[in-house]
Amino acid sequence: MTYIARAELAAAVSEAGGLGVIETLTPEGRADLRRVHELTDKPVAANLMIQGWKKDPSIVDKLAEAGVRHVFTSAGDPALFTKLLHDAGMTVVHVVGSLKGAHKAAEAGVDALVVEGVEGGGFKSLLGASTMVLLPLIAENVNLPIIAAGGICDARSAAAALVLGAEGVQMGTRMLASQESMVHTNFKDAIVAANDAGTVLLDIPGNPTMRVLRTGLAARVAAHDPTAQLLGKVTELYFDGDMEASVANTGQVSSRIVDLLPVAEIIRRTWGEIEAVLDAARLRSGTSRTP
Ligand SMILES: Cc1cc2nc3c(=O)[nH]c(=O)nc-3n(C[C@H](O)[C@H](O)[C@H](O)COP(=O)(O)O)c2cc1C
């Protein structure tokens, strides 16, 4: 999450037993790869947006110098960076939104996949499948560990992802709407206020397809208003709270987020309540093993 996935948020995730991820597209994010070691001694990963770095493999040296051991590559051809990252001793997890993408990542030799459904926030494929379809499809056809993403915010959705074939889960929108996330409260409050019609998938020629909050700007962009700028002044949205300065990447799961929790509480509730959620599902299905 460019500008958002910074050291404080990533450290909070890792301290709580997850694996925090820091973005590398901004100089601040890259500096945080080192600064985060002052906040936690737990492992923290980096996100490498391939589209942004494909002409500059020096990012691999920067990651190595900062002590990064795990890299989540996304938005581009995994063959470009996987070997370089492996040669530098790093684990590579690649984000995919299709079975074809998963096969391609497996051929490139990645260690694991993030399988992300079209309900998730951020860049997407217009023809992308939902997490419910994509996860079992890839789990049954590709022999790699899977981290599920898209639509996950709590124990119920994480348990569903495990049943569908994942080993772990990744949360974007839920972490964006956490207490430690440094985005302006207007953005967080808009996520909390969103209902199940609260996001829209924008597919504007010449731009990446994106799932965003259904703001006034998003409606104008969707209506092809030539004066509406898709990713205009994203920092004014993130840090000044101007919800019309840029479209606001957000997942459908915003409709299930009703409060701004500390990261540790999100993670504690997610993993701590999984067993109870699965037990309740067994009871409802009549397959409970308890007498
Ligand atoms: C504001 C925002 C920015 C994002 N930026 C990135 C990014 O830079 N790189 C990336 O791999 N994924 C990015 N994502 C996707 C998230 O990492 C995550 O996979 C996704 O949000 C999961 O779906 P969810 O929103 O339903 O939790 C972004 C998501 C959001 C909401």
How remote is the CA of residue 58 from the centroid of ligand 1, in Å? 24
* Closest C-alpha to ligand 1, atom 6: 1
Q: At what angle do helices 58-65 and 27-35 cross, to 10 degrees?
A: 30
pLDDT band at 34 (very low <50, low <70, confident <90, very high): very high
Residue 289 pLDDT exceeds 80 = no
Note the pLDDT of residue 147: 98
Report residues whose beta carbon is within 6 angstroms of any ligand 1 atom.
Answer: 1-2, 4, 23, 47, 49, 74, 95, 116, 119-122, 149-152, 170-174, 176, 249-251, 253
Residues 6+ apart with CB under 8 A from 279: 288, 290
| CA dihedral for 106, 112, 118, 124, sign (positive or negative) | negative
* Closest C-alpha to ligand 1, atom 1: 249
Instruction: Tell me the pLDDT tens digit for each residue of 127-180.
Output: 899 999 999 999 999 999 999 999 999 999 999 999 999 999 999 999 999 999
Tokens standing for 85? 């990252």
Cβ proximity of 99 and 127 under 8 Å? no
pTM: 0.96
Residues 6+ apart with CB under 8 A from 221: 202, 204, 228, 230, 247
